[in-house]
Amino acid sequence: MQSRLIKTDGLNQQVLVAGEGPLVLLIHGFPELGVSWRAQVQALSAAGYRVAAPDMRGYGGTDKPRGVEAYSILNLVGDMVDLVRALGAETCVVVGHDWGAPVAWHCALLRPDVFRAVAGLSVPFQPRRIKGPPTAAMAAISKRAGLGDLYIVRLQAADAHLALEIDTATTLRKLFYAYDGATPADRRSTGFMPEGVDLLDTIADDATLPPWMSADHFDEYVQAFSAGGFDGPLNWYRALDLNWSLTAFMQDQKIAPPALFVVGEDDPVRHYAGGAEVGLKDWAPNLMRSVVVPDAGHWIQQERPDAVNALLLDFLRGLQAANA
């Protein structure tokens, strides 16, 4: 397993790579890094695959362009197309977790010639809706339900990253705790905040690191986000309405490649994204499996590495058998 700095079109990407064989690309989410996939890099490379897990645009050792417009879904998919080419491959299987899942779904949606299969962890594909940009709809729905603000709406603010940067270690500790399956259900985040209450204030001050998170691994995150900040990562959220405006050309398009979806039973994201699980096969007709992992939360590839590795390897072997 090596960490390499790979120059692609206009972007330097820090990438964790290992193994030889068909390429598998692993896309992390927020607030994570390529090293979030370490267990999968080890298992998949040992099974005969070449595996690459980049720090995504705005994160870790990868470049961090300024401005929301640099973080559109088209840029993020383009980064992955460029990375596949830079790694000397023509096709790959793409796997995404959290924010990486929408990127992976859109990789398969927009470039099925490159991304021959897709696996989404924790976040199902959510198709573009014709009723208008998403953030206004999110705000209206949560207000009508009396839930306060969905955190995604709050993160649209141009200065939202500043509160997260006051104490990086506390921010990361609270976020990992609030979405972990081992955290008591009444202490996990629902994703909603009362008016006037910040996201971090909804999470207990005595939040501890999840049982799977070693001090050394946590320090990798603290160092990366202390150096790079949260502005770039939050631009992924701030680009949601921009994404809606850029993707009218793919309205009602379906995901053609074979697909896998995996979610933790106790993942708090299911409070506000879980509805899309029900109709996933309508949008991904070649969905091979949709799996709910018992007693798991949001950080599923780190909480339940053996289960996720087994599911991914079964999915990959199924693809090989189908192509034999």
How would DSSP label each residue in 288-304? EEEEEETT--S-HHHHS
Which of 99, 75, 69, 109 is CA-nearest to residue 251? 109
The tokens describing 295, both together, are 């007693």
Which of 208, 224, 217 is CA-nearest to residue 176? 208
Which of 124, 131, 127 is CA-nearest to residue 273? 124
Catalytic residue among 28, 97, 106, 298: 298
The helix (H) or strand (E) run that includes residue 78 is helix 73-86
C-alpha–C-alpha distance, residues 243 and 236, integer Å? 10
Please list the alpha-helical segments (H only) found in 190-304: 215-228, 231-238, 240-246, 270-273, 275-278, 280-283, 300-303
Contact criterion met (CB below 8 Å) for 98 and 268: no
Buried b (16+ CB within 10 A) or exposed e, 225-244: beebbbbbbbbbbbbbebbb
C-alpha–C-alpha distance, residues 278 and 274, integer Å? 8
Catalytic residue among 55, 63, 79, 98: 98
Active site residue 298: yes
Q: Where are the beta strands (DSSP E) in the chain?
A: 2-8, 11-18, 23-27, 50-54, 92-97, 115-121, 149-150, 192-193, 259-264, 287-293
Residue type, 286: N
Q: Give the β-pairing of 50-54 and 11-18.
A: antiparallel
Active site residue 106: no
The tokens describing 18, both together, are 């290992």
C-alpha–C-alpha distance, residues 10 and 7, integer Å? 8
Instruction: Catalogue the active-site residues.
Output: 98, 298
